């Protein structure tokens, strides 16, 4: 049996053979060879610099857009929750936020300071680093149009400031990261005008609760919307709502959600993903592309940020 072993050295906690089901919103996934929690960015930077240049590294926020295969991750997972937690106003309309801050907290902070444009973050259940990596968005808003600059950390443990125009982004994709990860971002928002109450976080959350399953183990939308169509509609048209593989089921409420209903494995979920793809291709001639990042020993490189094309 594989042992789950924990070591604490210099503000870094390293757990060997950590079950990734504990760290993903689907509650599935095999073990990571090493799971690392840092107390500070300085400690994290020093630790990263000690890793072998061939070590596979996966930064993980809340795992709300990540499927880790049952075979696990044969490398080092960096937990971003609990580190990089700064959140502050730089001037009237600019906000500096660390990659470890919850997207929902950023939305509330902006609302409190009468800033408009970050409301959509309220319903996205991940961290700011994950939002940057995915160009997360909802209700017509998305992350990257708000970005002025980011700070990144590379394998050598160096932190660099990079302008937004050094990155290319589109619908749920970003490219421009080269063996480096997001540490923080500076965002530009708009100042709320007097009597402007057009966008309201409560209304957006209520709208979401009507159309999407909440309080269940999922990864949100599994597939990207293809050009000119909605993935959910194509899946529903194929009669796949309620379809199960093992403990995984296509949501009855929103056909683009797969729920871990009864102790599903990552393999159950991936098999259901493939079944949906095949059925939709057969009926509509459209190959749905997963929005979720599928990670496993064999796939980690090919699913890294920026390698997808829309
Ligand atoms: C119920 C539900 C609803 C959702 N609704 C939406 C929605 O409306 N819109 C939307 O866009 N998404 C939605 N999602 C998906 C998900 O919440 C977002 O993509 C979110 O931004 C992911 O954040 P995370 O911290 O969980 O990322 P993770 O899943 O932990 O990571 C996602 C990817 O980003 C990489 N990454 C994480 N942190 C960093 C970093 N600091 N630097 C570089 N790479 C990093 C990871 O390696 C991985 O490839 C939903 C998910 C759920 C479960």
Can you give the pLDDT of all 310 residues of the chain as single tens digits?
Answer: 556 666 666 799 999 999 999 999 999 999 999 999 999 999 999 999 999 999 999 999 999 999 999 999 999 999 999 999 999 999 999 999 999 999 999 999 999 999 999 999 999 999 999 999 999 999 999 999 999 999 999 999 999 999 999 999 999 999 999 999 999 999 999 998 766 655 688 888 988 898 899 899 999 999 999 999 999 999 999 999 999 999 999 999 999 999 999 999 999 999 999 999 999 999 999 999 999 999 996 433 344 443 433 2
3-state SS, residue 16? strand
Q: Residue 275 is inside which H or E element, if any?
A: helix 266-284
Q: Which two tokens stand for residue 309?
A: 């094309």
Rounded CA-CA distance 38/84 in Å is: 10
* pLDDT for residue 303: 41
Distance 264 CA to ligand 1 centre (A): 20
Ligand 1 neighbour 25 (Cβ under 6 A)? yes
Which ligand 1 atom sits closest to the C-alpha of 139?
8
Q: Residue 203 is inside which H or E element, if any?
A: helix 201-211
Bridge partners of residue 306, in order along the sequence: none
Rounded CA-CA distance 178/152 in Å is: 10
* pLDDT for residue 304: 43
Residue 40 annotated to the active site: no
Contacts of 74 (CB under 8 A, 6+ apart): 33, 56, 297
Which ligand 1 atom sits closest to the C-alpha of 129?
41
CB atoms under 10 Å from CB of 228, counted, come to 6
* Active-site choice (172, 218, 224, 308): 172
Query: Strand runs (DSSP E) across 80-163, as ranges?
Result: 87-89, 94-98, 115-116, 137-138, 141-142, 147-154, 159-163
Q: What is the pLDDT of residues 190-219, one digit of tens each?
A: 998 766 655 688 888 988 898 899 899 999
Residues of the chain by 3-state class (helix, strand, coil), percent to 5: 25, 30, 45
* pLDDT for residue 301: 39
Distance 144 CA to ligand 1 centre (A): 14
Ligand 1 neighbour 133 (Cβ under 6 A)? yes
Closest CA to 142 of 114, 116, 117, 125: 117
* pLDDT for residue 5: 64
* pLDDT for residue 299: 39
**Ramachandran category for residue 204: left, alpha or beta (phi over 0 → left; psi -120 to 50 → alpha):** alpha
Bridge partners of residue 159, in order along the sequence: 153
Distance 223 CA to ligand 1 centre (A): 13
Ligand 1 neighbour 257 (Cβ under 6 A)? no
Closest CA to 73 of 303, 305, 310: 303
Ligand 1 neighbour 111 (Cβ under 6 A)? no
Distance 1 CA to ligand 1 centre (A): 32
Give the pTM: 0.93
Residue for token pair 């590294």: 57
Residue 208 annotated to the active site: no
Nearest Cα residue to atom 34 of ligand 1: 130
Which ligand 1 atom sits closest to the C-alpha of 127?
25
Which ligand 1 atom sits closest to the C-alpha of 99?
41
* pLDDT for residue 297: 61
* pLDDT for residue 203: 87
Contacts of 304 (CB under 8 A, 6+ apart): none
* pLDDT for residue 281: 98
CB atoms under 10 Å from CB of 194, counted, come to 5
* pLDDT for residue 8: 67
* pLDDT for residue 69: 96
Name the residue of 119, 127, 130, 169 to mutate for ligand 1: max ligand atoms within 8 A of Cβ.
130
* pLDDT for residue 196: 64
Residue 34 annotated to the active site: no
Nearest Cα residue to atom 27 of ligand 1: 130
């Amino acid at each position: 049996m594989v042992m789950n072993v924990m070591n604490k050295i210099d503000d870094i906690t390293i757990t060997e053979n950590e079950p990734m089901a504990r760290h993903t919103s689907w509650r599935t996934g095999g073990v990571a060879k090493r799971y690392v929690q840092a107390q500070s960015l300085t400690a994290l930077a020093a630790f990263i610099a000690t890793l072998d240049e061939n070590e596979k590294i996966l930064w993980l926020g809340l795992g709300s857009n990540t499927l880790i295969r049952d075979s696990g991750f044969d490398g080092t997972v960096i937990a971003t929750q609990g580190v990089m937690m700064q959140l502050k106003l730089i001037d009237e309309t600019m906000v500096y936020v660390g990659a470890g801050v919850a997207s929902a907290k950023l939305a509330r902070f902006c609302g409190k300071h009468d800033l408009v444009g970050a409301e959509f973050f309220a319903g996205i259940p991940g961290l700011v680093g994950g939002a940057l990596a995915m160009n997360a968005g909802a209700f017509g808003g998305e992350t990257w149009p708000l970005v002025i600059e980011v700070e990144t950390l590379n394998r050598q443990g160096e932190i660099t400031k990079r302008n937004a125009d050094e990155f290319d982004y589109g619908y749920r994709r970003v490219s421009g990261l080269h063996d480096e990860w997001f540490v923080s971002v500076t965002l530009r928002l708009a100042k709320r005008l007097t009597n402007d109450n057009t966008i309201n976080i409560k209304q957006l959350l209520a709208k979401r609760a009507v159309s999407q399953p909440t309080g269940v183990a999922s990864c949100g939308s599994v597939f990207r919307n293809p050009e000119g169509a909605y993935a959910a509609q194509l899946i529903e048209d194929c009669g796949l709502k309620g379809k199960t593989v093992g403990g995984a089921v296509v949501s009855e409420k929103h056909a683009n959600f797969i729920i871990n209903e009864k102790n599903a494995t990552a393999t159950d979920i991936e098999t259901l993903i493939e079944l949906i793809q095949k059925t939709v291709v057969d009926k509509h001639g459209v190959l749905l592309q997963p929005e979720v990042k599928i990670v496993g020993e064999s796939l980690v490189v090919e699913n890294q940020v920026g390698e997808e094309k829309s």
